[in-house]
Amino acid sequence: MRTRTLALAAASGAVLLATAALPATTRSVTLAAELLARVKTCDQISQGRYRTDSESAATVAVCDMNGAVFWKADLDIDCDGRPTTACNRGTDRSFHGDTAFHQSDGRPLSAEKLPYVVVPGSSSIWDHGSSGIKGGGVAAVIYKGRVEYAVVGDTGPSKVIGEASYATAKALGMDPDPATGGADSGVTYILFKNSQVKPIESHNAAVSLGEALARQFVADN
């Protein structure tokens, strides 16, 4: 039994080393495919399902995995936080100049500059904190074979799911405009449990930690 365990560990390590040796773009596409292969089935932990907007049916479950939770939904653009050229009251009719979690200097996050995801406000459906998901936690957002690492930066309505910042949408190749952008479906959100980027506004730190956690997630599931 121990021999087989060591052999499996060695094989897993060899795969991770081979993946790390690939060019960055190829590595990202390969890792995105490996992540998606692990989230084909859902062990539902939410007590019910979420809507993707206030008018839609409740169809989205939060699912549990080793080291992460995930869901598959749409992507609505969150432009909340510090006012910028792209995100302000003129560009977004529902603009709110604050985020649930703040930068290390106490200021709201910048949706235009920082890739972040939005988690539903805690409710009887699901309490993200009970799953080890907290502000500054790391998320892998996957769309059309591309993965972007983001932080948990804001909370939204307690019955709606599927939202990320302007910067996240732009990095995934979507139209990031808060009025016309986003994606109607096909977005996978993987949030790594008990992770945290410090400072929260460091995207480089989120990418570095996110890549390591994503590889660990692939190895563990």
Instruction: Give residue-wise pLDDT tens across range 159-192.
Output: 999 999 999 999 999 999 999 999 999 999 999 9
Say if pTM beats, i.e. exceeds, 0.75: yes
Low-confidence ranges of the chain (pLDDT < 70): 1-27
> What's the confidence (pLDDT) of residue 27?
54
Fold of 23-220: Barwin-like endoglucanases (2.40.40)
How many whole angstroms separate alpha carbon 56 and alpha carbon 107?
Answer: 34
List the chain domain ranges.
Answer: 23-220
Inter-residue long-range contacts of 130-135, CB under 8 Å, 24+ positions, other chains counted? 131/45, 131/62, 131/64, 131/69, 131/193, 132/193, 132/194, 133/69, 133/191, 133/193, 134/196, 135/100, 135/101, 135/196, 135/200
Conformation bin of residue 67: beta by default, left when phi > 0, alpha when psi is -120 to 50: left
